[in-house]
Amino acid sequence: MKWITLAQLTFLPALAQCATGSDEVQVGYHVIFSYPGLKPPSHLLELIEQGKVGGIILFGENIDDNIADVVQNFQDTYTKSPAYGGHPLLIMTDQEGGQVNRLPGGPELSAKEIGNSSDPNGAATQAGKKAGDILSSAHVNSNLAPVLGVYRQAGHFLDQYGRSFGDNVDLVSKCATTWFTAQKSTGVVAAAKHYPGLGLAGAEENTDIRPVTINAPLSTLRNVDEAPYHEAISSGIDMVMASWAVYPSMDPKNPAGLSSAWIQEELRGRLQFKGVTVTDAIEAGALEDFGNDENRGLLATQAGMDLILASGRNVTQGEVIVDKLVASLDDGSVSRESFDAATDRILDLRKKVQA
């Protein structure tokens, strides 16, 4: 007799909601797609209807006054899909405040300005609420924010655009938690990023462009950089985005988002995070030594990442990642038990968001 694992048992109701229960449908939950320009390609809508899309990430080039109608069309199309179980697609963007806003309207204050204000708690509450209100009005239900990095020097990568709340662990922890809690009250879920932290990254150390290595003792990473994540997890953060930097004190070879040591042992083990993990952009320059996008998606999945962010504004990018993960489930390169557990986490998250 073949015993059914607990992870498989808990996934059975989710599969029962799908017309096919196929691997393609299950894998579809795990891949976030993107597209160029204002008008979504017809092929993207076809893939949504087929159940091969887990969500959409929106960028400035996708946004105009019709964005709410565009997103509603995504959701309406998804209701026809075999993957639809009464819960919407994840529609996400980066609405950090200050210079990093994809949709117009704010928050006007950057994280740095919030941290430097006379009332950081009040400013963080207002900014988080405003971000949520703006996104929910456009039917965007997930925000890849706030940044939890504790920057070390003025002019460093996170400080350049005011993306860090400050250089003080307690300040960053309190501001970030207040910010995402206020946003959550609007029905928009948040992602704390970029775990375990980019506060030590220098001015030119941008993982979007090139590989970045952060040489710091593990004790420093745990006591400073990871501390805001501990607070966020205790306060109910729903998603954590992993960094593409390499941290040799934990894993000398792999970026955090490709490292089971960071994701499985540290984030899920030591910090006890039970929510959804999401990659940074899978096409990032930091991953130049890790093959093509579909291979990177496989490595991230094997490391324990739940959602793969195919943000190259190319529908085919997401499609080939789905195909690769389907094949990897079939040949055993990806543990079905672990993948089922990840699917459960994604479906639990979907139950929290609004269409």
H or E stretch covering 292: none
Q: What is the mean pLDDT of residues 300-329?
A: 98
Contact by Cβ (8 Å): 55, 89: yes
**pLDDT tens-place string over residues 218-241:** 999 999 999 999 999 999 999 999
DSSP-derived secondary structure for 196-207: T--TT--TT--T
Strand, helix or coil at 111? helix
- Which sign, positive or negative, has the C-alpha torsion 116, 120, 126, 127? positive
Nearest to 141 by CA among 84, 184, 175: 184
- Residue 339 burial class via C-beta count within 10 angstroms: exposed 0-12, middle 13-18, buried 19 and up: buried
**Cα radius of gyration (the chain):** 19
**pLDDT tens-place string over residues 77-123:** 999 999 999 999 999 999 999 999 999 999 999 999 999 999 999 99
| pLDDT for the residue numbered 149 | 98
Q: What percent of the chain has pLDDT over 70?
A: 94
| pLDDT for the residue numbered 21 | 66
For residue 92, report the phi and psi dihedrals to the nearest 5 degrees.
Answer: -130, 165
CATH for 27-350, among 3.30.460.10, 3.30.2310.20, 3.40.50.1440, 3.20.20.300?
Answer: 3.20.20.300
